[in-house]
Structure 1
Amino acid sequence: MEFLVLTIVIIILYFIGKNYRTEDFKNINLKRKEFFRGDVLNHEAGLLVALLAKVAKADGKVGELEAELIKHTLNDISSHFENQEEVRGRLKELYNGEKDNFSNLIMLCERLYILTKNDYERRLTYLDYLLNLAFIDGDFSRTEREITEDIAQALKIENKDYAQLISKLEAFHINMKEQDELSLEKAYTILNSSSSDDDNTIKKKYRELVKENHPDIISGRGESQNKIDEATKKLQEINEAYEIIKKSRGA
């Protein structure tokens, strides 16, 4: 069987409030589609999904962001087979079966190594993708580190390359956290508030600003269209700022 060569474009993650969204998760372009037959664990695609399952469940649970990335991955991989729906179903079944089984981790890595023995960069790309999954919630736990270290060693990834991937992701998420904090600070400024204000005070200031800047009220005063447009834009900023603050407080 000809094995599928997966070239995965690493997702770009950014905060909206306190939530991530995936962007540029691009489909892999192949000149022709493969009709899949046989055991999915004899295929690079199946082995990758099995390893993703174990990394996703490494800290005992699969988070919402991890589940979302897994869903996109299954859709993306299966889209490159002629029997797409069948392959996706089998990969999903594989994922569900592998996420609670860690006893075969090294065996799966050894299989993947055999299939990619002469392509170090491809193995490095697979590891990079697995690490992106581990980091997706911004918290690289001890168990996630341990399992990805085991995978790296079994795939014969050099220690310096593993460390470089970790450093890159840590820097990325520190930057995202700083951007999130700046966004929250700006939100408090827009509402003429501070982080020390309680929820009721925030809500009161929000309502006051909405009343002051509501386009219908501005229009009722006989203001110009420019004033109405400015009020509409300001009201949108006020609403967005209020949502960011509520999310930061778990409301």
Structure 2
Amino acid sequence: MAIFSTFSALLQAVSGGGRATLGAILEAIRSLFAGDPETRQKVAFSVAIIALSAKMAKADGIVSPSEISAFRQILEIPPEEMRNVFRLYDIANQDIAGFEVYAARLRALCEDENGNCQLLGDVLDALFHIAKADGLVHERELAFIEEIATIFGLDEAAFTRLRERHIAGPNNPYAVLGLDDDATPGETRRRYLTLVKENHPDRLVARGVPDEFMFIASERMKAINEAYSKIAKREAA
């Protein structure tokens, strides 16, 4: 099922009761897909990328062309669905409710399914991809993503690994793998194999990542492979 084709019904469901809000959208997702938890999780993930990207842009105050390009890389929006996607973006941008409220409700919606929603980590990866598209993760963007991560349930150590993977990764391949710089070759190899297994496309499909958003998964695997290759070359030198 094409996730974007659900957005029209979603917008219709929230347009009849006054001003549309992110809260109303989440309730519509919950009710419209009550009998289809897999689709519900995929739609929630899709809307999360759109809504939190809009909120991050508002928090930072600047939307660069490179960030718009990164946003569209992740979503790969079909031309016929462009209007609906950006209508959702505008709703998020204009909603007076803070992103904290939306993030907390998103976590609750996600946890309704299995109590341990790894999709929330995929959302954070997507936000970092957009934030760093202009070559720098700005202070307000970083603070925004860190607050989202806290609401999603990441502890400080987990967020540090996530941050370092995105910010220090190009210059520190160990950060990409979540290792200390003095990790042994055996430790590096085991960690690499674990990450490859965790990020295999079949695993991502099983946890509800829509096909339309496999770009983030591909970027993550590319970073993991490049990091391991760099470390292996250093060890062989």
Q: Which residue of 1 aligns with 2:148?
A: 151
Q: Which residue of 2 aligns with 1:91?
A: 85
Please, which of 122, 125, 129 is the counterpart of residue 128 of structure 1?
Answer: 125
State how 1:162-241 maps to structure 2 within 5 Å.
162-174=159-171
The answer as to whether partners of 2:49 and 2:126 remain within 8 angstroms in 1 is no
2:55 pairs with 1:54: yes
Residue 109 of structure 1, CA deviation: 0.6
The letter for the 1-side match of 2:80 is E
Residue 63 of structure 1, CA deviation: 0.8
**Larger helix percent:** 2
The answer as to whether partners of 1:50 and 1:99 remain within 8 angstroms in 2 is yes
**% same residue:** 24
2:36 pairs with 1:67: no
Residue 102 of structure 1, CA deviation: 6.6
Q: Which residue of 1 aligns with 2:10?
A: 38
Runs of 4+ in 1 over 4 A off after TM superposition: none
Residue 90 of structure 1, CA deviation: 1.6
- Structure 2: runs of 5 or more not aligned: 12-24, 30-42, 173-237
Whole-angstrom CA distance in 2 between matches of 1:102 and 1:129: 23
Q: Which residue of 2 aligns with 1:142?
A: 139
Give the match's secondary structure for 1:144: helix
Give the match's secondary structure for 1:99: helix
Residue 173 of structure 1, CA deviation: 4.4
The letter for the 1-side match of 2:2 is K
Higher RCO (CA-CA < 8 Å; seq separation 6+): 2
- Structure 1: runs of 5 or more not aligned: 1-31, 176-251
The answer as to whether partners of 2:131 and 2:141 remain within 8 angstroms in 1 is yes
Whole-angstrom CA distance in 2 between matches of 1:138 and 1:106: 26
Whole-angstrom CA distance in 1 between matches of 2:2 and 2:68: 26
Residue 101 of structure 1, CA deviation: 5.2
The letter for the 1-side match of 2:85 is L
Residue 168 of structure 1, CA deviation: 0.9
Q: Which residue of 2 aligns with 1:202?
A: none
The letter for the 1-side match of 2:133 is I
The letter for the 2-side match of 1:104 is G
| Per-residue CA distance 1:153-190 (angstroms, 9 max, x = gap) | 11112222211011111223447xxxxxxxxxxxxxxx
Count of residue correspondences: 138
Cα RMSD (Å) of the superposition? 2.7
Whole-angstrom CA distance in 1 between matches of 2:58 and 2:171: 23
| Per-residue CA distance 1:120-155 (angstroms, 9 max, x = gap) | 321111111111211222222221121111111111
